[in-house]
Structure 1
Amino acid sequence: MDTEEFMWKTIYEKLQKQQSVEQQEHDQRIQQVDGGFFERFGSLLRESAEIAKEQEQKEQIECAEQAAKVITKIEEETEEDEEKKVKSDEENEEEEIAPSDTEDNKADYIAVGWNIDDLYLEILYEILHNVGCDVSYDIGQTALFSYIQDAFKMSNEKHEELLAKAEQKEAPDILLNVEIIEAKDIAPKDSSGFTDPFVTLYLTSNSSHRYNTSVKTETLNPVWEEHFALPVTDKSIEDTLCLEVWDFDPAESVREKLGKMFQVKGIKGVRKFVKEVAVTATTGQHTNELVGMARIPLKTIPASGMTMWYSLDKKNKLTRQGVVKVHLAFGSEKNQQVAAQEHRHLLRILLLHELESSQVSPYWWCGNFSGQAEAIITQHSVQSGLTVTDVALSQFAVYSSIHRDHPLNFALFSNLIDKLIKPIQTMTVSEEEAKLFWDSVKRLLPSCFATIRKIRKKCPNEKATLKMIKEVLKILSQLITIDPPENFNLFPANLYGWLSYAGEGPNCDINATLRDAISQGASDWFNYILENNQTSDNSEEGKLQNMLKIIQLVRVDLQRAIEYYDRMFQEIMNFQYAKCLYILYQVRIATMVEPEVVTMCKSLKTINYDWNCFSDSEANEPLALGTKLFELYLALQRFVVLGQGLCPADYESFHIRNFYDWFHGGVTQWLDIAVFKALKRIEKAVELDNLKPVDNTVKFSSSALDTLTIFHQIKIFWDQLNWPDVEGSYTFIAKIIDDICRCCVFYADRTSQRVEGLGDRVDVYEKRFEVTSEWCLAINNIDYVRQSLKPFTDKLGMEDVIQQLSELKSPLDAQRCQHTLNNVIENSIDTVRNKIIELLETVTNKMSPAMKRLLVEGAELFSQDSNSIDKVMRYLDNNLATLHEHLSEDNFNRILEIIWENLAEILSDLIQSNIDKRRPPSFFANLRNTLQLMVKCFKQSEGDSECDQLKKVEYLLFINGLETSELIHQVHLDRWREQQNIKQGPFGELTVRAKFEGNVLFVEVMNARNLHPMDSNGLCDSFVKVCLLPEEKFTNIQKPKTQTQNKTQFPLYDETFKINLTSEQKNIKDGLLLFSIRDKDLFGMNTQFIGEAFLHFNEIAQSTESIESHPQLQLPIHRPTNLNTDLMKALESRQGDKLAKEFVKKFKQKMVKETN
């Protein structure tokens, strides 16, 4: 994290944690200006939104956990658990869930006119002649007689009469229905290791009447699935069903047997193969071999039938020879239609009796009759010869009829439909039976859809409720797979008035009806919420609070739908339940909220203000709707985000997704009010600022922190809005940035006004300015706010918005927008920076008189003991200490630069004015010493350095403070430095050698090349004169010169000079050798200056070797070219100095241009 970028935020959070009572009082006084406007719409609004969001998440987690527990229990519950249900507390909800819009029962499909006596007689007859093992062992005939008498409400006399008739009737003809399903692990009987099995079955009472299955070749696990019906002629004896499994031995010759020799497996196989061949060869017989058999007593077969595995045993074999699976059931040959009608009537009577006697709760009974009723029903279905489909259809018809008055468990219907789907789809039932089925479905569906519509009137975390919904959905998913008869109207308009179906033909669309039921239920629930949450507070604040509450209740309903029901609807019906709810809710919420919000935003009052003038009346103008308007915005924002997750494909078509447009006027108004209140708060913050650091670790005061707090709160508000529209975001961000920049400039202006006049001191002796900590903190405050401006604008999300604009429009448009915003920011930063510089310059200007006085007095009195200088130095030292202590490091360095520049200007004026006054060099030397003393005072560390202009001024003081001879030598040194940059001498080159040997200087002038021609013939008569500089240090030294070399531009001098020096002369600092090359005229009377070259003493080696061993030095011959240097100006200014005048004259003569 960038320290500079988040400095203000870190400080803000730190201070928030360590607020003192004094700080709290300060904050309260600041917030009184606008009633805590920024806190209410910034951090407090965020806290409120976060609390609401956390509450929603907490409710979501709790809801998800409860749903997971209930759903897990449902998924893990077995059928055995269902039979052990305990009554739930649903007695009071029968009226709520049961369908109210049911069809009048004009003609019950069960013949109510059926002769009860005949049915009763038939049941008594079946009890007397029961089949199967059920009644014989578990329930006696007496108990069944007693139960049936109670169920049919028969008197004792009537019961005895009908019982006597039943006893006189002949026993019924009963069939034993056997299905041979499969066998496993049959013992191998063939040499190949396999068997060719078939099954023979018969009753021991009629062993001559045998039935055989087909042969399954070469297998040990045959599958037959073949059916047989064996008449049971005498029930009084203990009859037994025998099952024999045989290995079929086909009629084959010896040759054919031998052809299978290679199929033999194992030693046992070989033995069997040899035996088969021998038997075939000797007898020619082909006998089947018994694998094993099973015996099943008929008394062990229940009336309802059973499917069992039986072991195959064989005499003299200890291990079993395999197992066989069979299905056994009793049946009769009664008329099917009559039997089915009897069975439906019986079911109705017995079920009503069971419900009445056991007081079963609504939606609880799931098909479990008492033992007596179960036995009676089973005997009737068996002895009537009813199929599984007949029984299931009868149950479905009767149960759906009774369900209208006494709701039964929906699992009962889903199980029955599951049994009936295949017969209905394959049309294995008659047309009348199909019609009976669909009429029953028609009676059942209103209850199913009523359950879905009124799903919210049940507690969703109850296991029974979820199971009820799950079974209803199973029913609907099963019915979708079946096509109803032609022209059959499954959803008549008189029963389903809430349907949106507008077709002319019959309506059988279950999916569409499900969607309408869910939508209608949600609409009813929304209306219920509206009716039960009406508010008596008709103010705008009250309306907003009420809408917030309604949205929250809707969200809770959606959350429950997601956690409890959505997965169930999708898995069973492939229907997105939560999505359907959201689609309806978003329309209803948009319809409710949009006109109210738009009206409220339009009614907001616009605030007009002048940046430089505020009225108290405007300052007290509150935002009429408080924070509730934006709390509603945030609630809608979360609602829309939820919809984006639930309906990603349809989200773009939702009207509510543009909810932010409704608030556009409100946000614009808020920003206008915010900038107005920001200016007022800034003004108050500057007024209350005591200009003391808020903390020992920082160098700014309270007003800077208060100003940044305003910006931070505005950013919080903007972050909360999370404005979705790119163009709208750019507009608002541009306005926020512009307003914040103006606030920064405004703060800088007010802060600078705050410190005007501070530090001015007047007494009887003088008027002076003293730097105060207030000035320093004011400067730091402005700079602190300036530094936060760029990071603040970056955190507003400007870059993301520009990127989105580039994608939405074009990169060029985005670039223009970026450029516009950058210009606004940069201009504001520059303005504030200039204000800082202006304040720093003000401080410097106020210190300037003292600095000027110090310099002048120092120049005149430096060598004397002066209290005045000490006083001024103390003044400067104190002020600089204050600046260093209280200014930030950047601002201190900045003010030092300004001080240097200001000091340079003062010195420039002093130098020029005193040169005009012909001050002696000592004045300038003293001025320079005073300046150095002052600079030393200003420098607080080794790293501090003065500006280039001051260095130049100090150099001017240095050269003007030199004596004339010293100044002349500086000119020579300057000429030597120029020589270092000359690649090729314009007037030729001079070759020399030089060395020091002790205090003796040896100079060898060797030759010159390309000398500039001085004669008319283009040649030169040259010689070289050697001078030691500075001249005043070598007055006792004779200046040697070479012989004249006539008429040549390439003279060979080859002369060596020995010059004796003192040790002081030899070690003189910046000593120079000047080689002056001159031309002698024809008569030897005058010489002309060709050029000169310099050699620094530092370039001359100390050596005892001969000079010939030293390297040759090629020195460029050159002339002075620039008279306009600081050194020459200083010499020219000394008009009364003869030495200076002579030197300047000769210098100018050397500059004369060559003649052609």
Structure 2
Amino acid sequence: MRAKDGIQQVDGGFFERFGSLLRESAEIAKEQEQKEQIECAEQAAKVITKIEEETEEDEEKKVKSDEENEEEEIAPSDTEDNKADYIAVGWNIDDLYLEILYEILHNVGCDVSYDIGQTALFSYIQDAFKMSNEKHEELLAKAEQKEAPDILLNVEIIEAKDIAPKDSSGFTDPFVTLYLTSNSSHRYNTSVKTETLNPVWEEHFALPVTDKSIEDTLCLEVWDFDPAESVREKLGKMFQVKGIKGVRKFVKEVAVTATTGQHTNELVGMARIPLKTIPASGMTMWYSLDKKNKLTRQGVVKVHLAFGSEKNQQVAAQEHRHLLRILLLHELESSQVSPYWWCGNFSGQAEAIITQHSVQSGLTVTDVALSQFAVYSSIHRDHPLNFALFSNLIDKLIKPIQTMTVSEEEAKLFWDSVKRLLPSCFATIRKIRKKCPNEKATLKMIKEVLKILSQLITIDPPENFNLFPANLYGWLSYAGEGPNCDINATLRDAISQGASDWFNYILENNQTSDNSEEGKLQNMLKIIQLVRVDLQRAIEYYDRMFQEIMNFQYAKCLYILYQVRIATMVEPEVVTMCKSLKTINYDWNCFSDSEANEPLALGTKLFELYLALQRFVVLGQGLCPADYESFHIRNFYDWFHGGVTQWLDIAVFKALKRIEKAVELDNLKPVDNTVKFSSSALDTLTIFHQIKIFWDQLNWPDVEGSYTFIAKIIDDICRCCVFYADRTSQRVEGLGDRVDVYEKRFEVTSEWCLAINNIDYVRQSLKPFTDKLGMEDVIQQLSELKSPLDAQRCQHTLNNVIENSIDTVRNKIIELLETVTNKMSPAMKRLLVEGAELFSQDSNSIDKVMRYLDNNLATLHEHLSEDNFNRILEIIWENLAEILSDLIQSNIDKRRPPSFFANLRNTLQLMVKCFKQSEGDSECDQLKKVEYLLFINGLETSELIHQVHLDRWREQQNIKQGPFGELTVRAKFEGNVLFVEVMNARNLHPMDSNGLCDSFVKVCLLPEEKFTNIQKPKTQTQNKTQFPLYDETFKINLTSEQKNIKDGLLLFSIRDKDLFGMNTQFIGEAFLHFNEIAQSTESIESHPQLQLPIHRPTNLNTDLMKALESRQGDKLAKEFVKKFKQKMVKETN
């Protein structure tokens, strides 16, 4: 652990800070963002769900919120209308007060929701109007002297259901008669609905009501209309009769018509409605139809009842607006309602007064809604009201405004009110961040504001009406000359301006006193994080709301503005910082101490900022997929190009220094029991891994830039691998050298093995590391961006860099292995020499050398990796082969006896057995050849000669057609008797001048020294023919040992006899191995014929012949070589 800390202290943990620690920091930041996103989403889901599920009744009961309250700033020019605008010309407070007293005195209807006496109403109205007692008494007396008002009971007969059938057809022809019991003679009838039990009328009636009619009752009677028909017409409907009851009714009707000729309507049922039960605001109710002597109801009828008057509408509306204003101001003052909270609920007294005034003034629903909208929007400027109030009122007014059922004055009043309301709406959107987004009240407020805007978009304002005057909306981007009524554009500008204000607010409240570059980077990181939080809240809380209500992408609008502001803030600072980075100059083989401690001044903050921008850009890709390509911040990575380049330069310098320190601190002990490499290899790969982590974190978007950086990283990593190999080699120089009074020797140590393993471990990791840098993907993108040919060239360049580095490191490994082998060579050579001299004798020297080799090989096998152990064995074999080659040649020159070479071979085999640690190990081809040389030089001359013959027989196996003809023979063993039949020859090489031959065949058994007692048979001479027929069979008796001799041969020597029979010439020879001769008791004629190619020796430059030639003092060898050379004489033409 201390060594690891010491390595990191070399560069102050440079790679960890920019690798794993930077990644960890980025992951923590990312996890924090995700956590905040999840928490924000969960809170938003809860709040939004509650808002969607919340009913109007719940809203009225909820407790006053403690949200941050804010009064909207309205330009002074917006106060052009004053309170007097809502008082009609010719009216004053006293007149209005007198009118309200009059209406209280002549109260109409009965509101079931209130039980308020006149005294309470008088007291309330006196407080609201701030009237003195004297003035109140004076005006009350005037009101009492005035005549009662003309009040009407407005009745709408809407429909009836489940009417009892009165006709024989099972239906009824109903109509309704209505009247007041105080004036039953004045009746009103609806139209008749034929043949139905569920009639729909929707007809209106107005019945005059006096002040004394409060105890009166409204009667509703439903009748079945009976048309005037003759008996004949009645009988014509016989087939329309249904059921038993229908038959009875039909018979009764016919009988009555026939006897009396009368046609009377039949009562279905009736309902009685006391006027005192009708509230002043009116009501719609279902009433049961009852009839005497009937226990069950005869159906139900639906009616709408309301009181009204015949007052001038304009005057009444002005009075109502003024009354609303006075009462609302009084309510707000007395109840201390929080801003944005009042949603239209007056106290009981105020509600009763307002209702009486609207009823007795004959105001319609539209009149009331318009009055409320005008008054509320005016008061909203000074005391903000709940936006839901305006949303509901606009909803009531949309249709009348769209259908032009209101007057021009009323339409102008509406749009003037809208003009007063909108600044507050847009101010709410602009200052949305000053309210807590996780409270229902805030979200509900934004939702209602958006509903207001969406409602207004559906209505066209009057011509030349300027909805957004520049003096009220100084932040608008509108540049047109005409009036501005574009709500969508204003909404976009309000959101953008709000975001811009918020960004400025963040900047102002996060100014840092640390003017260092690192302090600036930290500050920019904080600002980006705050902006991201705002975007996340926008996404989770508001974006869906804006899209559903206004079809407006709120979060996208914010991002478009923020990306411009962030790019403007960050780009110049980052570019300047990257340009200011100091370049490090160094030599790969010599490092300056002053620059060794050169820090990266900006630390990790620069790249933390890079990663923060990276995440911000990814967020933009999701929010603005269509506009992403046009964003300047998309190319943020270009700002950091110089910084990344400088970092890579610094990184390779730091890597070399750390590698040097790692090798220095390495104790060359395995990291643990499961591996065969030490700490420096792990430290080196850790550097590479940290660089890769850094590169992965960058996730460089630009293809060409990625290729440039990856190429540099690969080149630098490859150089570091070579550097590590060099430093590791230097680290083990001199280790293992042992000197004592007897000798100087080298012992293989575990340090040497681990050094070799370390280099190989780093080498093996190089190619996988470069593959993980994403080179293949970059090459593929280059192919698509440019051309496959360019991509192929780039790939080829990088592959060359990697392969060259791998080869260099591999050569360094081989160099170390050869060094180990060369240091072991003297001991191996001494063992071989002493073994050749003293193998058959007991020798402590040989045992000592064998122990030395055995111990070293055990060390190599234990500590080297399997691949490196096999590799060093190959080098040992090659080295051993060179030693033996020198020994063989030098001792041949010294005319050593065969026993020397045999002992040398035995010693070699002993050594090889020591070297072979497993059955799979095998020596190299060169060593096999040397061992073969030892084998043949260790043979006695006769044995060596026989090896030549065997070599000639092997050559024969590869001859398809004999150059000197072919010999046909048959042979068999029968017991220990050899039968040989020489049959004929073909195409014999002509030896005479006439082109013919006088040939015979001589049969010899080899090796000759084993068959000295055997006579060599030969055939008769066949004269003057190249196709002689010998047809001679020879019987040769052998001993059992002779028959079973290993590698026994039959030599057929074909010779030419001269004219006088004194000399013979050698034509050629053929061989037959004992293994090719069958054991049989059958006649030889039954055996297959064997065609043997006749050939001569052609190569004197074989190892066997060289061995024979080297035995110059051996008569047998000299004689054989002489004859062998004579056989090689070429034919003469």
Displacement of 1:237 in angstroms is 6.2
Contact 1:97 1:451 in 2 (8 A): no
Displacement of 1:809 in angstroms is 1.6
The Cα offsets for residues 922-979 of structure 1, whole Å up to 9 and x where unpaired, read as 2221111111111111111111111111111111211121112212222222233333
State how far apart, in whole Å, the 2-side matches of 1:449 and 1:1051 are: 128
State how far apart, in whole Å, the 1-side matches of 2:1086 and 2:194 are: 125
Shift in CA distance, 271/810, structure 1 to aligned 2, threshold 3 Å: farther
Shift in CA distance, 981/286, structure 1 to aligned 2, threshold 3 Å: farther
1:383 aligns with 2:383: no
Identity, % of aligned pairs? 100
Contact 1:312 1:320 in 2 (8 A): yes
> Paired residue for 2:606?
629
Contact 2:72 2:381 in 1 (8 A): no
Quick one: which of 231, 250, 258 aligns to 1:273? 250
Shift in CA distance, 1106/183, structure 1 to aligned 2, threshold 3 Å: farther
> Paired residue for 1:23?
none
Quick one: which of 233, 236, 239 aligns to 2:210? 233
Displacement of 1:1104 in angstroms is 3.6
Displacement of 1:249 in angstroms is 7.4
State how far apart, in whole Å, the 1-side matches of 2:1078 and 2:240 are: 119
Contact 2:159 2:198 in 1 (8 A): yes
The Cα offsets for residues 331-365 of structure 1, whole Å up to 9 and x where unpaired, read as 22221111111111111111111111111111111
The Cα offsets for residues 236-262 of structure 1, whole Å up to 9 and x where unpaired, read as 265444555666778899999999999
Shift in CA distance, 253/978, structure 1 to aligned 2, threshold 3 Å: farther
State how far apart, in whole Å, the 2-side matches of 1:137 and 1:539 are: 72
Contact 1:609 1:676 in 2 (8 A): yes
The Cα offsets for residues 1066-1107 of structure 1, whole Å up to 9 and x where unpaired, read as 221122233334455555555444443333222333334444
The Cα offsets for residues 1029-1088 of structure 1, whole Å up to 9 and x where unpaired, read as 222212222233444555655555544433322221222112223333445555555544
> Paired residue for 2:294?
317
Contact 2:563 2:631 in 1 (8 A): yes
SS of residue matched to 1:663: helix
Shift in CA distance, 1139/438, structure 1 to aligned 2, threshold 3 Å: same
Contact 1:96 1:457 in 2 (8 A): no
State how far apart, in whole Å, the 2-side matches of 1:1141 and 1:253 are: 166
SS of residue matched to 1:657: helix
Contact 2:87 2:319 in 1 (8 A): no
Displacement of 1:86 in angstroms is 1.1
Displacement of 1:106 in angstroms is 8.4
Shift in CA distance, 255/968, structure 1 to aligned 2, threshold 3 Å: farther
The Cα offsets for residues 645-687 of structure 1, whole Å up to 9 and x where unpaired, read as 2222222222222222222212211111111121112122222
Shift in CA distance, 1006/351, structure 1 to aligned 2, threshold 3 Å: same
SS of residue matched to 2:719: helix
SS of residue matched to 2:11: coil
> Paired residue for 2:822?
845
Contact 1:182 1:221 in 2 (8 A): yes
Contact 1:41 1:713 in 2 (8 A): yes
Shift in CA distance, 222/871, structure 1 to aligned 2, threshold 3 Å: farther
The Cα offsets for residues 898-944 of structure 1, whole Å up to 9 and x where unpaired, read as 11111112222222222233222222211111111111111111111
Shift in CA distance, 295/1141, structure 1 to aligned 2, threshold 3 Å: farther
Displacement of 1:214 in angstroms is 5.5
Contact 1:135 1:141 in 2 (8 A): no
SS of residue matched to 1:97: coil
1:1002 aligns with 2:979: yes
Contact 1:98 1:407 in 2 (8 A): no
Shift in CA distance, 909/209, structure 1 to aligned 2, threshold 3 Å: farther
Contact 2:88 2:319 in 1 (8 A): no
Q: Select between 876-885 and 265-274 the one with higher mean Cα deviation.
A: 265-274
Contact 1:965 1:1032 in 2 (8 A): yes
Displacement of 1:981 in angstroms is 3.2
State how far apart, in whole Å, the 2-side matches of 1:787 and 1:690 are: 22
State how far apart, in whole Å, the 2-side matches of 1:1102 and 1:1035 are: 23
Q: Select between 482-491 and 326-335 the one with higher mean Cα deviation.
A: 326-335
Contact 1:99 1:447 in 2 (8 A): no
The Cα offsets for residues 484-543 of structure 1, whole Å up to 9 and x where unpaired, read as 111111111111122222211111111121122222222222222222222222222222
State how far apart, in whole Å, the 2-side matches of 1:457 and 1:96 are: 14
State how far apart, in whole Å, the 1-side matches of 2:145 and 2:82 are: 39
Shift in CA distance, 313/1022, structure 1 to aligned 2, threshold 3 Å: farther
Contact 1:452 1:521 in 2 (8 A): yes
RMSD (Å) for aligned C-alpha atoms = 3.2
SS of residue matched to 1:208: strand
SS of residue matched to 2:178: strand
Q: Select between 360-369 and 651-660 the one with higher mean Cα deviation.
A: 651-660
SS of residue matched to 2:269: strand
Shift in CA distance, 464/1086, structure 1 to aligned 2, threshold 3 Å: same
SS of residue matched to 2:61: coil
State how far apart, in whole Å, the 2-side matches of 1:142 and 1:922 are: 149
SS of residue matched to 1:328: strand
Q: Select between 183-192 and 548-557 the one with higher mean Cα deviation.
A: 183-192
Displacement of 1:80 in angstroms is 0.5
Q: Select between 1110-1119 and 562-571 the one with higher mean Cα deviation.
A: 1110-1119
> Paired residue for 1:700?
677
State how far apart, in whole Å, the 2-side matches of 1:253 and 1:1048 are: 159
Contact 1:959 1:1130 in 2 (8 A): yes
Contact 1:97 1:450 in 2 (8 A): no
Contact 1:694 1:700 in 2 (8 A): yes
Displacement of 1:613 in angstroms is 1.3
> Paired residue for 2:587?
610
Displacement of 1:300 in angstroms is 3.1
The Cα offsets for residues 94-153 of structure 1, whole Å up to 9 and x where unpaired, read as 478999976674863444973223222222232233333217973233322222222222
Shift in CA distance, 1003/323, structure 1 to aligned 2, threshold 3 Å: farther
Quick one: which of 710, 733, 740 aligns to 1:733? 710
Contact 2:86 2:321 in 1 (8 A): no
Q: Select between 341-350 and 982-991 the one with higher mean Cα deviation.
A: 982-991
The Cα offsets for residues 970-993 of structure 1, whole Å up to 9 and x where unpaired, read as 222223333333444444544444
The Cα offsets for residues 360-386 of structure 1, whole Å up to 9 and x where unpaired, read as 111111000111211111121122111
State how far apart, in whole Å, the 2-side matches of 1:1025 and 1:183 are: 145
SS of residue matched to 2:186: coil
Contact 2:167 2:246 in 1 (8 A): yes
> Paired residue for 1:508?
485
SS of residue matched to 1:829: helix
Q: Select between 793-802 and 164-173 the one with higher mean Cα deviation.
A: 164-173
SS of residue matched to 1:307: strand
Displacement of 1:311 in angstroms is 4.4
Q: Select between 441-450 and 1009-1018 the one with higher mean Cα deviation.
A: 1009-1018
SS of residue matched to 2:691: helix
Displacement of 1:618 in angstroms is 1.0
Q: Select between 657-666 and 241-250 the one with higher mean Cα deviation.
A: 241-250
TM-score (norm. length: structure 1): 0.91
Shift in CA distance, 87/137, structure 1 to aligned 2, threshold 3 Å: closer
Shift in CA distance, 199/1096, structure 1 to aligned 2, threshold 3 Å: farther
Displacement of 1:896 in angstroms is 0.8
Displacement of 1:1113 in angstroms is 3.9
SS of residue matched to 1:520: helix
Shift in CA distance, 1125/250, structure 1 to aligned 2, threshold 3 Å: farther
> Paired residue for 1:789?
766
Shift in CA distance, 1088/553, structure 1 to aligned 2, threshold 3 Å: same
1:764 aligns with 2:741: yes
Contact 1:752 1:778 in 2 (8 A): yes
Displacement of 1:323 in angstroms is 4.5
1:39 aligns with 2:39: no
State how far apart, in whole Å, the 2-side matches of 1:923 and 1:649 are: 91
Displacement of 1:894 in angstroms is 0.8
Shift in CA distance, 269/1122, structure 1 to aligned 2, threshold 3 Å: farther
Identify unmatched segments of 5+ residues in structure 1.
Answer: 1-27
Contact 1:135 1:375 in 2 (8 A): no
Shift in CA distance, 745/222, structure 1 to aligned 2, threshold 3 Å: farther
State how far apart, in whole Å, the 2-side matches of 1:259 and 1:999 are: 146
Shift in CA distance, 227/944, structure 1 to aligned 2, threshold 3 Å: farther
Q: Select between 1014-1023 and 145-154 the one with higher mean Cα deviation.
A: 1014-1023
Displacement of 1:826 in angstroms is 1.1
Contact 1:91 1:362 in 2 (8 A): no
Contact 1:102 1:495 in 2 (8 A): no
State how far apart, in whole Å, the 2-side matches of 1:383 and 1:138 are: 19
Contact 1:490 1:506 in 2 (8 A): yes
Shift in CA distance, 937/173, structure 1 to aligned 2, threshold 3 Å: same
Contact 1:41 1:717 in 2 (8 A): yes
Contact 2:72 2:427 in 1 (8 A): no
